[in-house]
Amino acid sequence: MGEKVTIATVARHAQVSRQTVSNVLNAPHIVREDTRRRVREAIAALGYRANQAARQMRTGRSRLIAVRIEPTRDGINGSVLDRFLHGLTETADATGYRVMLYTARHDDDEISTYDDLLGAYDLDAFVLTGTKHRDPRTAWLAEREVPFVTFGRPWDTPEAHPWVDVDGAAGTAQATRHLLAAGHRRIAFLGWPAGSGVGDDRRAGWRTTMAEVGLDGAAPDRATEDGIAEGEREARALLALDAPPTALVCASDSLALGAWQAARDAGTDVAVVGFDDTPVAAAVGLSSVSQPLGEAAARCVELLTGLLDGQQRDPQLLLDPSLVLRHSA
């Protein structure tokens, strides 16, 4: 491998000045047609690649996007992040951006990490996953005017920031409609305790759909922490009712899996639909609401590049999930 190819090498080779080469790269329209061509040929011939560090030093922009990788919680939902990350990386690549990972144990920790990253690497933007009520991170970033997108709606703060989310209510509504169409009438919901934005949203989709057909009275609704064992326990309780449900819409695949196992053990034929279409669901044949993670990731990058280029687009985006049917419903 020869010596380094810089913009000066290209300039010499194409018989122009450094700046002209730079212009061909960053503002092609101000360079005359044939000069541009000559420079492009030189770039190709020499295999020149702009040095990001130098560019960054001058412009203050790094073409780097930071994403937090979370400590794979119960593992079952970890794959959601995994798929999202992959989509993010792919779309970012295509736009000339790169994805940098960071971890953080707590939220405070996360905010101090922002500071580190911004100070040392001049990151262009952040992608946050899993927004919560009263999220301190979005406030911190907004205050410092750091561009960011969240994958997940802000659940209480009406202050607008760009976000992409999947319409959980639409997902559970779709699942509920499917079960209704299959003839079910006593359709229960198995979800999380009220108070989490995501959980309440998913419950709402089921509830309104049931209300639309006038069946909300007969519809049991149970709440518990997430987990397979929890799902199993609650499902058992539901099946022991006088008029047990014939179908269950669940807020997660963990709950759904537990419920599915409880139903099988009880020998009852109960339809179960989970949420997130995790590998576990696919593995055991559980029907599940699938989030368009690849598209969500792509939209996040789109929003960010839009922000960074100064274009002001509509910064909120709600995507529709789809129902993946397997033999559990």
Partner DNA sequence: CATCGGCATTGGATCGTTCAAGGCGGCGAG
Partner DNA sequence: CTCGCCGCCTTGAACGATCCAATGCCGATG
Contact (CB, 8 A) for 191 and 251:
yes
Helix or strand run (H / E) with residue 209: helix 197-212
Site string for a second copy, 33-52 (x = CB under 8 A): --------------x-xxxx
Compare residues 30 and 213 and give the one whose CB is closer to DNA: 30
Note whether 187 binds a second copy by CB under 8 A: no
Note whether 69 binds a second copy by CB under 8 A: yes
**Binding residue (CB under 7 A) for DNA from 13, 22, 203, 305:** 22
Please state, in angstroms and rounded to a whole number, the distance separating the CA atoms of residues 134 and 173: 27
Compare residues 39 and 228 and give the one whose CB is closer to DNA: 39
* Binding span for a second copy by CB under 8 A among 216-224, 266-274, 277-285, 303-311: 277-285
The interface with DNA within residues 31-60 (CB under 7 A) comprises 31-32, 35, 48-51, 54-55, 57-59
Please state, in angstroms and rounded to a whole number, the distance separating the CA atoms of residues 26 and 4: 21
Which one, of 217, 189, 182, lies nearest residue 205 by Cα? 189
Q: Which residues are within 8 A (CB) of 210 and not within 5 positions of it... i.e. 6 or more apart?
A: 176, 187, 216, 219
Binding site partner of 89, from DNA, a second copy, none, Cβ cut-off 5-8 A by kind: a second copy
Terminal CA-to-CA distance of the chain, rounded, Å?
Answer: 60
**Binding residue (CB under 8 A) for a second copy from 12, 25, 35, 78:** 78
Note whether 130 binds a second copy by CB under 8 A: no
DSSP string, 210-243: HHHTT-STT--EEE--SSHHHHHHHHHHHHTSSS
Sign of CA dihedral 137, 138, 142, 148: positive
Phi-psi bin for 34: left (phi > 0), alpha (psi -120 to 50), beta? alpha
As measured in angstroms, the least distance from the Cβ of 87 to a second copy is 9
Would you say how long the chain is, in residues? 329
Note whether 99 binds a second copy by CB under 8 A: yes
As measured in angstroms, the least distance from the Cβ of 311 to DNA is 17
**Binding residue (CB under 8 A) for a second copy from 116, 156, 225, 265:** 116
In sequence order, the β-bridge partners of residue 249 are 189, 273
For binding to a second copy (CB under 8 A), which residues are involved?
1, 47, 49-54, 56-57, 62, 64, 69-72, 74-76, 78-79, 81-83, 85-86, 89-90, 93, 98-103, 115-116, 119-122, 144, 228, 254, 257, 261, 278-280, 282-284
For binding to DNA (CB under 7 A), which residues are involved?
4, 6-8, 15-23, 25-26, 30-32, 35, 48-51, 54-55, 57-59
